[in-house]
Chain A
Amino acid sequence: MQALGIDVLFKGINMQRLLGGLWISLRISLIAVAFSIVLGLVVGVLMAGDNPVIKAVTRVYLEIVRVMPQMVLLFIVFFGTTRVFGWNIEAEIASIIVFTFWGTAEMADLVRGALISIPRHQYESAAALGMEEGQIYRRIIIPQTLRRLIPLSINLVTRMIKTTSLAMMIGVVEVLKVGQQIIEANRKSSPHAAFGVYACVFLLYFAACWPISMFSRYLERKWS
């Protein structure tokens, strides 16, 4: 066991520190996810609309998010805002802002995709049955859109949880950083601790993402 570095996980309060790091990762990503879903729904509906100005603006927004690495966004929000505006944003808040900015764009694109994938004739058939616009959306369009959205957005959520590891670059000590600290602190006494520690970090990420996947399956089955 020592060769694999499992023992270092139980030295001192190392396990607690890893769990604390996981909590920080989850706190950042879940708050960002909550904002992203709400904002993404709004922006996505706007994107699917007909207004050419809104379409152009959201298009530019989406492309910026796609092209810009999240790490660059983190540096801009954390260091750049201090330089240019003098704002002193806390590292965790800066991470939440960046992940929300990113998540909203991707979520909005998913919403737009799901909305326009509903065939035109569904709107027309509903109208022919005498439904009003509100009714059409509530009873026909939104339920189908949500069902199509679920697998896609779960994908996004788990991706956001995993990408929080980038926040270590601006000083947030999240689960992966704690793992690296443990490996390095034991470099002499257990040179192969990397295996055990990274395996543990993997299991922690898995434990965080698996319930979300299960929940999405449950929803898919329930709504099908």
Chain B
Amino acid sequence: MRKNWIKKTSAAVLGLILTGSLLAGCGSGSGTAAQGADEPQAQETEAEAAGTEAADAAENENAGFRTLEEIQASGKITIGVFSDKSPFGYVDENGEYQGYDVYFGNRIAQDLGVELEYVSTEAASRIEYLQTGKVDIILANFTVTPERAEEVDFALPYMNVALGVVSHNDRVITDLSQITADDQVIVISGTTAETYLTKNNPEIKLQKFDTYATAKSAFENGTGVAWANDNTEVIAFAAENEGYTVGIDSLGSADTIAPAVTKGNETLLNWLNEEIVKLGEEKFFHADYEATLVDTYGPEFEETLVVEGGGQAAAPAQN
């Protein structure tokens, strides 16, 4: 017994020390990221100063970005995208990046007049890439949330995401009030759809599933009258499977997807905002939708999903 206790305690202490040092390593960054390989001396002095600058860390956390001028002078922009999230960011059979986000990324590089390098990012590392200045822009289907907005700066949005409800063709649910006390609605545990319905419509009986696949087969077997999920998911489901209609395509607080830059990188942020407004005049994102998303979502959801010229950012958020 006694030996066991000692073992456990020492393991816990070791764990604590390691976690502590890890947090220190990740959290205390004073953001002196390299501004480019051509300034080795500046980097060195910055690195030396890093220790003493710890007090300013909060203010100076994201100093590692490149301004618009620096990007143009270097002749190359680095954009972080998904490489395995079709149809937003993926790599086709010829090894080329494709998708809704990539279509926009290509245009950004073209209008800046610089070369383009895509970096394959994972959902979990998107913020880290920006905070360390390893990419200039993240265009990885990045949903704007208040928590994220504290870590990075979002430009104007270029796409909408909301919840959607798909139902069987013989009884299309176009409003949540059509759901009676006997009906059940299918959701996937842990999704925003579950959170939203539990909070705002507690009277609706939910049937919860852990995975997309189980929810899908339950819905196909008629377990629920409707299935609530991200609208992109239910729209794609209805498009791929016969006999289903998306009766509600935008439910709950409409979130948006926007490009993100390192916090404080105002020159690049302003340029991006102007670019998005300017592209609105030529209906760029509608063309983007028609080139990349129409196969998955069909033409009828173009207006639901596309945000042109950052437009809806100014409109009051719908509840």
Contacts and interface: CB of A to CB of B under 8 A. Distances in A.
Interface residues of A, number: 39
A177 B132 contact: no
Contacts of A170: 125
B26 A80 contact: yes
Contacts of B31: 83
Interface string B1-27: 000000000000011001000100110
A168 B82 CA distance: 12
Contacts of A11: 93
Given A84-B30, A86-B32, A169-B125, A181 B91 contact: yes
A72 B21 CA distance: 12
A13 B93 CA distance: 6
A156 interface: no
In the A-B complex, list the 5 residue pairs whose CB atoms are closest, starting with the nearest: A83-B29, A12-B93, A86-B32, A88-B34, A82-B132
A188 B295 contact: yes
B195 to A, nearest CB: 26
17 contacts: A12-B93, A12-B94, A67-B14, A67-B18, A75-B26, A79-B131, A82-B132, A82-B133, A82-B134, A83-B132, A87-B47, A88-B33, A88-B134, A168-B122, A184-B85, A185-B93, A185-B98
B240 interface: yes
Contact of A85 (B47, B80, B133): B47
Interface string B92-135: 11110010000000000000000000011110110011011110
Contacts of B34: 82, 86-88
A69 to B, nearest CB: 11
Nearest to A72: B22
Nearest to A14: B93
B165 to A, nearest CB: 22
A111 B296 CA distance: 56
A16 B124 CA distance: 28
A139 interface: no
Contact of A80 (B25, B122, B240): B25
B292 interface: no
B310 interface: no
Interface string A180-194: 111111111000000
B43 interface: yes
Interface string A183-210: 1111110000000000000000000000
